Structure 1
Amino acid sequence: MDRNALLALIVGCVVTGWMLQPVVAGRGKDDGDGTASLTEQEEADLLFMREEEKLARDVYIAFHALWGTPVFENISRSEQRHTDSVLALLDRYGLIDPVDEHGVGEFENQELQELYDELVADGEVSELAALFVGALIEEVDIEDILIAMESTEKRDIHNVYANLLAGSENHLVAFVGNIEQRIDGDYEAQYIAQDAVDAILSGN
């Protein structure tokens, strides 16, 4: 699968994720600690983010099994914490978890299922290709998190997203470091603006 087709699939999945109507248990209920109702956009973002973070984890688990590169194992553990932190918000707001009993590489969202399959196939080509897939995932995550942060004024949700953003930026730095050890030249942004990537890599 060429990179342009891969990017088009990712964009399509992201847009589809935003448009999904979430399955909600106890819509608008107060959980007794002053939690306010979620907007439909907040619900959709949380449900999508839960599976998107799982997707990153699952892809990295697959790549570590395939290539044994330490960065994949390390970041997959971090992604587990990310998806768990989103789950805590789902529980707090009474949303049904889309992950539920799904195992590694299994998704409720069929668009994400197809995306997972495509990303893993792309990373099976070589270790370097897998590292580029990892960097691409983190760029997409950064964009998605920033957009989701703009759609909520709830402090607890915003704080979780801020932590996810910091993590994704660190992950991108780690992947780029591994990539640049294996290529002649500098890493070029695959999804977000090059200036944004350069700022992240420089720590600004």
Structure 2
Amino acid sequence: MKKLLFLLLALSWPALQALQAQTSLSKADQKTLIYLAEEEKVVRDFYQAMEAKWEATVFSHIAGAEQRHFNRAVDAAASLGIELPGSLAADKPGEFQNKELQQFYDELMASGSQSLEAALRAGARAEETDIRDLKQALETTQNETIRTTYQYLLEASGNHLRAFHKNLAAQGVTYRPVVLAQADFDAIIAVGEKGQGCQGQKGQQGEACCQKKGGQKGQCCQGAQKGNCQGKGKGKQSLN
């Protein structure tokens, strides 16, 4: 009988821990974490769609990173006993429970479908939005699990913003922030000024990268030196 009771307690302990964690969280913390998890889904779905449309390597790399970010946010919610909305758990591309995020996704898609440059601009805007929302969320929570998750996502979003900025610069485009203050934007970009390729990867002597997956006949994107681009699968560094 004692062994049976011990087994039952052992099996129920994770559930009790999750329940305790959930009850110690404020409703605001729970709501914000769910919102930011779905926001990660927005940018992931958008990048996957842009990768399919434009075949630009930057979208391939960052879409993969955003999948990890979405998983990280979902795992954090699960560890805290937060139940995800049905539509978020179903994870259907382009479908979102939050109407504000659905509108945001639709706007990104409308912009990004116009041209590669417009898609890169939309990607930068998405990362700016992520950074703003994550910074605001960090100011309002004291939960260490949530704070660690947000800090991880914030650092990664900075990497992605620099990647889009580099890709646009390689096309001769000067990107101006549309969400963040200019000073905040400049500080983020300055972090990766040395030794960064246009996809947020460490390049050699600051060369830019190929825009198309695998390159086109070995050509680099505008502004790069001939023969120096980093094709898909070469010189890759994690974008978090």
Q: Same fold (TM over 0.5)?
A: yes
Give the Cα–Cα distance (whole angstroms) in 2 for the partners of residues 110 and 81 of structure 1.
24
Q: Which residue of 2 aligns with 1:88?
A: 75
Residue equivalent to 1:201: 189
Of residues 62, 68, 91, the one that matches 1:102 is 91
| Within-5 A mapping of 1:14-163 | 31=17, 35=21, 37-98=24-85, 99-163=88-152
C-alpha RMSD of matched pairs (Å)? 1.8
CA-to-aligned-CA distance 1:94-115 (integer Å, 9 cap, x gap)? 2221311131111111222222
Q: Give me the whole-angstrom Cα distance separating, in 2, the residues matched to 1:119 and 1:167.
A: 20
**Residue 200 (structure 1) shift:** 0.7
Residue type matched to 1:105 in 2?
G
Distance 1:88 1:76, change over 3 A: same
Cα distance in 2 for residues equivalent to 1:105 and 1:128? 21
Contact 2:58 2:163 (C-alpha < 8 Å) held by counterparts: yes
Q: Which residue of 2 aligns with 1:183?
A: 172
The count of residues paired between Structure 1 and Structure 2 equals 175
State TM-score, norm by structure 2.
0.69
Partner of residue 161 from structure 2, selected from 150, 153, 172? 172
| Aligned-partner residue type, residue 135 of structure 2 | L
**Whole-Å separation in 2 of the counterparts to 1:32 and 1:180:** 46
Q: Corresponding residue for 1:5?
A: none
Q: TM-score, normalised by structure 1?
A: 0.81
Spell out structure 1 runs of 4+ moving beyond 6 A: none
Paired letter, 2:125 = L
**Cα separation, 2, equivalents of 1:151 and 1:49:** 14
- Could you tell me the percent identity over the aligned residues? 38
Measure how far apart 1:203 and its partner are.
0.7
Query: Which structure ranks higher in relative contact order (CA pairs < 8 Å, sequence separation ≥ 6)?
Result: 1
Please give the per-residue CA displacement for 1:32-77, whole angstroms capped at 9, x wherever unaligned. 6963611111011101011000000000001000000000111011
Contact kept? 2:19, 2:81, Cα under 8 Å: no
Higher mean Cα deviation, 107-116 or 146-155?
107-116
